[in-house]
Amino acid sequence: MIAVTDESDKLAAPLIGAFRQTLHDAGYSEGRNIQIDIQYLAGRLERYPEVLTDTIQRGVDVIVVWAPTGAFAAKRATTAIPIVFLAVPNPVENGLVPSFTHPGGNITGISWTASPEDLAKCLQLLRETAPKTTKVAAISSRADPIAFDTARRLEAAAGVMKTQIDTHWVENREDLDRELAVIRRNRPDGLLVAASTVTYIHRKLIADFAQDMRLPSVHQFREAVMDGALLSFGPSLKDVAERGAAYAIKILKGTKPGDLPVEQPRRYEILINLKTAKALGLTIPPSLLARADQVIE
């Protein structure tokens, strides 16, 4: 049996679908030779210890968890059951594993970013799309243990680009509502949204807010652009889910998780929402359009 913990049944469905399909393609069929126990947290990350304790008591062969909060909760919960983490930024710098090549112990997985500088690349794309943007509100989460260090690197990069960054920290919907109200009062001219559980779950809310405020926005996942954000730059979560399932399969076949190197993103993708750009009165540079992996019209 494989236990997968995720945040929201509706929003996570495509990712769970990709995970299941990879297992099916490898010959694993639910009800015949495998059981997948999906535990939805609906954004309530404080439930991780409770859910993991219950999962371990019922007996599983592999635990698959999303994002830093889930990964660290699973690591604290068991040193015996194999763990595959998905979409965790900077797992070595975070202290989750000692190295990418030799994670050791009972844990391995698929990281989210190749480096903490990825947010600076998002800012660069935002400035390229909206050159007049000089005051940017950034939404980030403390769930990433090195989030403050990443924020400092972003601020340093912003200084080179002559851009002011004001970071807003969120951990849940209440935090997000409060910080969006602050952003509304401060009236920046751009919005940068770092990948986290809360920003993924509430991406439509953030995209609608940005459109209402007429703010060009950049996110780290494509789903936000599908929901109306201006652009995104980051790995594909669907690809992360598929690769995580492939690791679960290897573990089911006998490979020790500590012998599986932590995989990093294979490629990044750029998505642009031209409908949103038009609503904001922006003309996307042809050079950026040519680099985009998908353009929504």
- Name the band, by pLDDT with cuts 50, 70 and 90, for residue 10: low
Same domain, 216 and 199: yes
Does the CA dihedral 148-151-156-159 come out positive or negative?
Answer: negative
Number of domains observed in the structure of the chain: 2
Same domain, 254 and 228: no
Same domain, 76 and 127: no
Same domain, 247 and 135: no
C-alpha torsion angle, residues 96, 102, 106, 112 (rounded to 10): 50
Same domain, 182 and 288: yes
Same domain, 207 and 244: no
Same domain, 156 and 187: yes
Which pLDDT tens digit goes with each residue over 251-293? 999 999 999 999 988 888 999 999 999 999 999 999 999 999 9
pLDDT computed for residue 288 by the predictor: 95
Same domain, 158 and 276: yes
Same domain, 185 and 211: yes
The answer, yes or no, to whether residue 80 has pLDDT greater than 70, is yes
3-state helix, strand, coil in the chain (%, to 5): 45, 20, 35
Same domain, 108 and 244: yes
Question: 26 is in which domain, residue-wise?
Answer: 2-112+237-259
Spatial neighbors of 101 by CB under 8 A, at least 6 apart, are 261, 262
pTM of the predicted protein model = 0.87
CB distance 231 to 8 below 8 Å? no
Which pLDDT tens digit goes with each residue over 169-213? 998 899 999 999 999 999 999 999 998 888 988 999 999 999 999
For 134, which DSSP code? -
In this predicted structure, which of 114-118, 214-218, 280-284 has the lowest mean pLDDT? 114-118
* 24 occurs within a structural domain: yes
What value does the mean pLDDT of the chain take? 90
3-class DSSP assignment, residue 241: helix
Bridge-based pairing of strands 2-6 and 294-296 is unpaired
Which pLDDT tens digit goes with each residue over 119-149? 889 999 999 999 999 999 999 987 766 677 7
Q: What's 138's domain CATH number?
A: 3.40.50.2300
Which residue shows structure tokens 């679960």?
248
Same domain, 150 and 284: yes
Q: How far apart are the first and last CA of the chain?
A: 42
The answer, yes or no, to whether residue 116 has pLDDT greater than 70, is no
Backbone angles phi, psi at 192, to 5 degrees: -120, 125
Q: What are the DSSP calls for 8-72, one per residue? A: -HHHHHHHHHHHHHHHHHTT--BTTTB-EEEEE-TT-GGGHHHHHHHHHHH--SEEEEEHHHHHH
pLDDT computed for residue 6 by the predictor: 65
* 264 occurs within a structural domain: no
* 41 occurs within a structural domain: yes
Distance, in Å, from the CA atom of 194 to the CA atom of 262, rounded to the nearest integer, reads: 22
Same domain, 125 and 201: yes
